[in-house]
Structure 1
Amino acid sequence: MTSGGVRAARREQAVESLLDATLESLATSGFAATTTRGVAQRAGVSQGLQQHYFPTKAALIDAAINRLAGRLLDEASRPVEGATERRRAELLLRRVWESFSSPVLAVVAELLVLGRTHPDTAEKTATTLVAVTDRVVAVAEKALPRYATRPGFRESLLVALSAIRDTTTVARIPGTARALPTIETITAAFLRAVGEPTD
């Protein structure tokens, strides 16, 4: 590998480490406690190197949101396989549930709160959530062609996706389980809404 290739690989590794550390910090410490110095320490790079690639906290957060958006879009784009349309619907909603239940998705909750006071972050977060939702809807329409032709399909799916996002966000607060639906309840409601018997 040439010296230019080695430098490019090191740069890529440093940027990857910084973005992963930013997402981890947002998920575990929140926006206010996330600092460029703390991110550099988590990433194992010097603060000077961090500032070279991301001169401000805003630039670092912006790049981390882009990284998160890419991951969410990749996850949402995977095709759904199952023997029946009903089974594919169950698998799709379960996948979304597991995705929003993962630790790094705590970042989404943090960004939703942050959006109230940081317009730039709000715009990027909204764009990401809309793009991911549209991708999940497109995958659902392909995997569930019979359901997709029924009136109210998109709206029913959006209700299910919102219920999953909100439930998995609130579930991070200890003691809230009794106030929240399960994935089974959400799935059954979606199936009823698209005209599929659930018993």
Structure 2
Amino acid sequence: MRARLLEATVECLVERGFSGTSTTLVSERAGVSRGAQLHHFPTKNALVVAAVEHLSDVRRDELAAAAAALPTGRRRTRAVLHMLGDHFASPLFVAALELWVAARTDEALMEAVAPLEQRIGRETHRMTVELLGADESQPGVRELVQATLDLVRGLGLADTITDDARRRRRILDQWADTLDAAIAAGAGPETTGAHAPGKDDR
């Protein structure tokens, strides 16, 4: 029952946005009584945050499984970036985006969303470092990894307006070459021009 509620919530967020998602609508879609829904999630905020957290955990496990099949050698970086690009163009990102926008002007929602977003950001950063085999003890490498995540996140945002898959692939192919060259060169700021973003792990 809980899983049905969480899945229905994500579907509503993607299809109707945060403002169009209601606990009544979620209950109807999940085939769950209002009383049962309120027992598990007494407020809309509790429901939507739990739904995005649940799907994030599911997606994290899916990414880990997909990572095991990634190629090694010269094309690995490109494959990693395409996997991340697809992740940030998924319904999960759309649902999370709806929460971020709503939380900007909702203090109570922000208190729940901010820690979740920070945790997911740290996990995604750590996974990306591992997949790329990046050495963050080298100057500039951490910033390059973060720039990579900022890039795929931005491309995911563009995909919410229109299907951007072809352009995304071209951009990520070029960035893979740039990333490989920068890391191979030592990735120092004087070499890559990389700089730290305003906030890490976001």
TMscore range, shorter length? 0.7 to 0.9
Q: Residue type of the partner of 2:49?
A: D
Shift of 1:92: 1.8
Q: Residue type of the partner of 1:188?
A: D
Tell me the secondary structure at the aligned position of residue 19 of structure 2: coil
| Counterpart for residue 169 of structure 1 | 157
Change (3 A) 1:169 1:144: closer
| Counterpart for residue 30 of structure 1 | 17
Change (3 A) 1:193 1:122: farther
| Counterpart for residue 177 of structure 2 | 188
Distance in 1 (CA, whole Å) between partners of 2:28 and 2:134 is 52
| Counterpart for residue 159 of structure 1 | 147
| Counterpart for residue 50 of structure 1 | 37
Once the two structures are superposed, what CA deviation does each residue of 1:79-107 show, in whole Å capped at 9, x if it has no partner?
Answer: 454222x4332222211111111123211
Contact 2:129 2:145 in 1 (8 A): no
Q: Does 155-164 or 185-194 show the bigger shift?
A: 185-194
Shift of 1:183: 2.3
Shift of 1:22: 0.5
Alignment of 1:114-153 (within 5 A): 114-145=102-133, 148=136, 150-153=138-141
Identity %: 30
TM-score (norm 2): 0.75
Contact 2:4 2:30 in 1 (8 A): yes
Two-structure CA RMSD over aligned residues (Å): 2.8
Shift of 1:70: 1.7
| Counterpart for residue 74 of structure 1 | 61
| 1:102 paired to 2:90 | yes
Contact 1:115 1:125 in 2 (8 A): yes
Query: Looking at CA atoms only, which structure, 1 or 2, has the larger radius of gyration?
Result: 1
| Counterpart for residue 15 of structure 1 | 2
TM-score (norm 1): 0.76
Change (3 A) 1:104 1:165: same
What is the number of residues matched between the two proteins?
A: 182
Contact 1:89 1:140 in 2 (8 A): no
Q: 5+ unaligned residues in a row in structure 2: which ranges?
A: 186-202
